[in-house]
Amino acid sequence: MGTTAGRSGDAPVRSGLTASLPPGGLVAPHGAPPFSRRHFLQGAMATGMAVAAGGTLLGACSSSSKSTTPTTAKPAHAAMVRFAIQAAEGTLTPYTYVTGYPGYNLLTMVYDTLLVLDKDNKPTPLLATGVTVSADGLTYTLPLRQGVTWHDGMPFSGDDVLFTYNYVKQYTFSRWTAEVQAVQSITQSGNTITITLSHPQADFMVTTLSDMPMLPKHIWSAITTPKQATDATGTGPYKLASYVEGQRYTLQANTSYFLGRPTVDTIVVPIIPDSSTIFASIEANQLDGTAATLDPSLVSQFQHTPGLAVARGPGYISTMLQFNDGQGALANATVRQAIALALDPKQLIQTALLGFGVVGNLGYAAPGSPIDVGFVQYTTDPAKANSMLDGAGFAKGANGTRVAGGQPMSYTLLAKSTAPTDIRTAQLIAQMLTPIGIDVTVSPLDATALDNKVWPGFDVTMGRNYDMTIWSWSAPIMLAGTQLGKLLASTASVGPDNVGGFRDSAVDALIPMVDNAVDSSQHKALLMELEMQIATKVPFATVYYADLLYGYRPAAYNSWVFQAGQGILQKLSFIHLGSS
């Protein structure tokens, strides 16, 4: 349901898998050997993933990165791939795409960033040929790639870079504006861009340079209502050839792409809300793949059906019980703590995910992700939960439901109707809360209706109208510790993704300290403190991280690259990043 830009989709990460599903790889089609990939490097913080202060990132991929290639024969080129999504993603401009996944992934097929995260989530040159960072972490110097053109043939230049940064400052967008506000100045000298920050940003390489798409000045200088933009002209490997509203997108290869011709000529992206219809269409050879995560109950079927395969790896997508932190008794941290104690994540994983997931961390960070600084063990203790609620004065009524302020502690739990695992999770949570005297009714809603209650207009200043919801944030939050503040800060400019309305002065004071710490040890210590604050005050309860599981047809295309946290539908699967 969201990243810093919108919903994440069905929140699907690792552990508890059968031997036939090797961690971080592709499950090969029936009778074929497995497709392996290098494991994501655990614990890489911003300075390790990118460039240490005073260092330089040169225009080449890491020599230590091994090529991810199937052991079976694979097509190096495909004329067409049909890859379904479940909901429309607007007009695919940086201001109109809807979800963090798969919307942002599709957006970056059309638009490019200055740097790009490789399959191990390390910043790598793209529109910039490298970057040098000053020792104090305030100045970033980026030479730009020559000969790059926009899809309409106009040349890309430093003017576009300067324009983009100033435009995002002027026209607020939650994913990037907060980071760009730290830019004190941006200048151009010849073909080199110099960005000076007013204060250090520990994850600037990840959250901005590798994440914010460049806008064409010659088009966007005339756009004053960016959320209504329809012109998707980028520099990316694909052009948006057509969009039939509510039905499909067609992406056409940019044959002039600066890293060489993309590996697929045409990508057709039909919009099919029902996941069961999607999976059946893949089996019937009417689709070649999907952004929808495979229902765990179908993994074995796909694995053993000739012509089908399953891609699997860590998703870093947090599935959480998100509270409306200002709603009645839910505003009381003791109530939220008790609810968290009543939940049994292991049972949720075994029942809802059939074991395809890892237990949540009350401090939010997924094990093995770049922001994992120490796992906060999830404890299940309904007896203690009851004791805490008794001690706080929330007595049980005659029907067993507790009372707060004269009102029964009865709540509605929202879940996305097109996400079977979310619905199963919600139903199980409702059952787990009954013994502690909290009555929960599960209400499945379509994605738009759910968002309108939890995050209307994707603008936290518009309030919220819900009790609890099954909610997810996609991978970008797990890639940089500075992203956590967006979920927690009480002011909308710093916390544009604080969909629960959480307010805490100690957390507000800690967030800028995490963001500004350039020293890796200091950054890690502060991040650990912030995660402990989350675990203690429970603005939300992260219950699990599901594995990313994708069904696909390898005969149609088998050059997929699994990017940790993003899966296979992203630009790395279609470009020659080694050419950078």
pLDDT tens, residue by residue, 66-99: 323 333 444 578 999 999 999 999 999 999 999 8
Q: Domain 1-12+32-278, what fold?
A: D-Maltodextrin-Binding Protein; domain 2 (3.40.190)
The predicted model scores a pTM of 0.74
Whole-angstrom Cα distance, residue 236 to residue 571?
A: 9
Give residue 10's region: left, alpha or beta (phi > 0; psi -120 to 50): beta
Whole-angstrom Cα distance, residue 320 to residue 42?
A: 22
Q: Flag residues of the chain having pLDDT under 50.
A: 1-74
pLDDT value at position 73? 44
Is 22 within 8 Å of 36 (Cβ atoms)? yes
Residue 434 DSSP label: G
CB atoms within 10 A of CB 112: 25
Whole-angstrom Cα distance, residue 216 to residue 151?
A: 10
35: β partners: 26
- Whole-number Cα distances in Å, 18 to 296, 305, 315, 354, 496: 12, 17, 17, 11, 39
For the record, the structure tokens of 191 come out as 């073909």
Whole-angstrom Cα distance, residue 55 to residue 243?
A: 43
Whole-angstrom Cα distance, residue 368 to residue 478?
A: 10
Q: Can you give the three-state secondary structure of 198-214, one letter per residue?
A: CCCCCCHHHHHHCCCCC
| Residue spans of alpha helices (H) in 50-205 | 103-110, 158-170, 177-180, 204
Give residue limits of the domains in the chain.
1-12+32-278, 318-546
Per-residue pLDDT tens digits for 304-352: 999 999 999 888 889 999 999 999 999 999 999 999 999 999 999 999 9
Class for the domain spanning 318-546: alpha beta
Is 511 within 8 Å of 137 (Cβ atoms)? no
**DSSP codes, 528-577:** HHHHHHHHHH-SEEEEEEEPEEEEE-TTT------BTTTBSSSGGGTS-G
